[in-house]
Amino acid sequence: MATDYRQMWTDLGLDLEAHDALLQALGQGYQDIFLAQKGRPAGMGYFDFVMSEVHGLRVKELLDAKAEGRPVVGSFCVFVPEELVLAVGGVAVGLCAGAEFAFDKVEQHIPRNTCALIKAFLGFGLARVCPYLTAADLLVGENTCDGKKKAWEIADGLIAPIHVMDLPQVKSAEGRGLLTAEYRRFMAKMEELSGKQITLESLEDAIGVVNRKRAALARLARLRSANPAPISGLDALLVNQVSFYDDPVRFTASVNALCDEVEARVAAGKGVFPADTPRILVSGCPMAVPNWKVPWVIETSGGVIVGEESCVGERGLRDQVATDVADLDGLLGAIVDRYFAIDCAIFTPNPDRLGHVRELRDRTGADGVLHYGLQFCTPYQMEAGPVEKAVKGDGTPFLRLETDYSMEDVEQLRTRVGAFVELLGG
Ligand code: BJ8
């Protein structure tokens, strides 16, 4: 019989009735979207298990860590360096914000025309349905887009105190200086929270853990270049989503085991879709759990996703932190170097992203690029234009989608995606 976590959820201050409704919808969505797929690698079983225990076992593990004096730190952005949390023995969790929940409550505090990702995080908090939010000792909000910047002010009073991390918007020496200063301040915050000093050894170990995690994800990403595609885009997205809250060492081992299996499939020419199924690179806003709508539409309309130019994807896993430095300052500098290279659309100008989209398209053998923008996300919608120009300039078909978390536009999306897949030869 499945473990009963109701007492744990009550202790965490959740609204059990609303939480039940969320889990019910999540479970049904998972069944219809993931478990209905054919020919999945057996290694996906681990990730199915993690998802089935997403509000159970993993939350219990976080509470056990807290009981050992290890702080739990929740964040919303790939600019928050997990290495500095692990270096004090802490646990880092990405706070998913991928479902429309309690938006009516949210809209009493922020404008209706705010992106769904921000609204979802506030909705989960206001409706008291996210055990990660309430289990965390610290929430870190980063100053990226305007919506997030202002949301931290609102959330600070309503949901939990937030450590705000300022971020540069320009890739200049001054910008790098700001990131370094903010990472130092975050390091001090971690030391204060845990009562532990970050040492050369603890930071080296933490960097090793995160580098190995990124290497495993990069390995999986590279295997997706094979034709036929050995794993669906939905499953690969799920692995990336799980990377934000699973135990990093266990996760890395599970991804590598999955890669062994996928590698064997590639060698045997085995795929989840027939060879030459139209291959699509998705580029744009991050997709947090359980935001699976667009990938599901693509892969049930005759296409296969072969890569994500996104923070839940390539932008989050690209580049390692260099470790060939001799002291703590050098290691921090290496962390800054790695994160400062992130090509988020909040930067201006942001030419690296265009190069990365093209590079990824070529590496994955994508036949077309689909730009995914959340409604009211100004940075990514503004950048959709330059991405379109760059991609089309090379003769690659391009489709721009703008949507939110509701299911109301599924049929409309299906019509547009279906036509795009046809154009790609499907
Ligand atoms: S590094 S992409 S995770 S900021 S979708 S909230 S941008 S209005 S999520 Fe992001 Fe960090 Fe950048 Fe990545 Fe604003 Fe757009 Fe909403 Fe967004």
Would you say residue 286 has pLDDT above 70? yes
Ligand 1 atom with the smallest distance to the CA of 346 is 12
User: Poorest-confidence range of 93-102, 201-210, 265-274, 404-413?
Assistant: 93-102
pLDDT at 161: 85
- Average pLDDT of the residues in 300-327: 96
What pLDDT is stored for residue 117 in this prediction? 97
Average pLDDT, the chain: 97
| 288 contact partners, CB below 8 Å, separation of at least 6 | 94, 96, 97, 98, 117, 120, 241, 244, 312
Question: What is the predicted pLDDT for the residue at 426?
Answer: 72
Burial degree of 411 (CB within 10 A; 0-12, 13-18, 19+): exposed
pLDDT (average), residues 145-162: 92
Q: How far apart are CA 424 and CA 278, in angstroms?
A: 6
Concatenated DSSP letters of 280-329: EEEEES---TT--HHHHHHHTTT-EEEEEESTTTHHHH--PPP---SSHH
Pairing of strands 279-284, 138-142: unpaired
Q: For 70-83, write each residue's pLDDT tens digit.
A: 999 999 999 999 99
Average pLDDT in the 240-262 region?
98
- One-character DSSP codes across 132-196: HHHH-SEEEEE--SHHHHHHHHHHHHHT--EEEE---SS-SHHHHHHHHHHHHHHHHHHHHHHT-
Query: Which helix H or strand E contains 374, and what residues bound it?
Result: strand 368-374
pLDDT at 97: 85
The per-residue pLDDT for 407 is 95
- Residue whose Cα lies nearest atom 2 of ligand 1: it is 344
Residue 116 CA: which ligand 1 atom is closest? 16
- Phi (first) and psi of residue 282, to 5 degrees: -95, 135
pTM beyond 0.95, yes or no: yes
Mean pLDDT of 165-190: 98
Establish whether the linkage from the previous residue to 349 is cis, with ω within 30° of 0: yes
Give residue-wise pLDDT tens across range 198-208. 999 999 999 99
The predicted model gives 221-247 an average pLDDT of 98
Residue in this structure with the two tokens 């391009």, named with its chain if needed: 398
- Give the separation between CA 375 and CA 147, rounded to whole angstroms: 12
- Does 115 contact ligand 1 (Cβ within 6 A)? yes
**Ligand 1 neighbour 77 (Cβ under 6 A):** yes
pLDDT at 28: 95
Mean pLDDT of 147-162: 92
The per-residue pLDDT for 205 is 98
Q: Which of 168, 180, 401 is nearest to 280 (CA)?
A: 401
CB 315, CB 333: distance < 8 Å: no
Please tell me the distance between residue 286's alpha carbon and the centre of ligand 1 in angstroms: 7
Contacts with 372 (C-beta within 8 Å, 6 or more apart), sequence order: 282, 283, 284, 285, 287, 294, 310, 401, 403
Largest distance between two CA atoms of the chain: 59
Q: What percent of the chain has pLDDT over 90?
A: 97
Mean pLDDT of 126-153: 96
Mean pLDDT to the nearest integer, 133-145: 96
Closest ligand 1 atom to 376 CA: 8
> How confident is the model at residue 51, as a pLDDT?
95
* Nearest protein Cα to ligand 1, atom 10: 77
Predicted confidence (pLDDT) at residue 1 exceeds the cutoff of 70? no
C-alpha 75 to ligand 1 mean position (Å): 12
pLDDT category of residue 158 using cuts at 50, 70 and 90 = confident
**Other C-beta atoms lying within 10 Å of the C-beta of residue 353:** 22
- Between CA 170 and CA 176 the distance in angstroms is 9
Q: For residue 233, what are the contacts with CB-CB under 8 A and spacing of at least 6?
A: 224, 280, 282, 295, 298, 299, 304, 305, 306, 308
Give the residue from 176, 171, 163, 191 showing the smallest Cα distance to 76: 163
Atom nearest to 342 CA in ligand 1: 1
Looking at this protein, which amino acid is placed at residue 64?
A: D
DSSP 36-75: T-SS--TTHHHHHHHHHTTTTHHHHHHHHHHHTT--EEEE
Inter-helix orientation angle 44-52/248-268, to 10°: 140
CB distance 23 to 15 below 8 Å: no
Which residue is closest in CA terms to ligand 1's atom 7?
145
Q: Say how far apart CA 225 and CA 232 lie, in whole Å.
A: 12
The number of residues in the chain equals: 426
Encode pLDDT of 325-378 as tens digits. 989 999 999 999 999 999 999 999 999 999 999 999 999 999 999 999 999 999
Statement: residue 44 has pLDDT above 70 = yes
Q: What would the pLDDT profile of 264-283 be if each residue is shown by its tens digit? A: 999 999 999 999 999 999 99
Ligand 1 and 316: CB distance under 6 A = no
% of residues, the chain, pLDDT over 70? 100
User: What stretch of H or E contains 8?
Assistant: helix 6-11
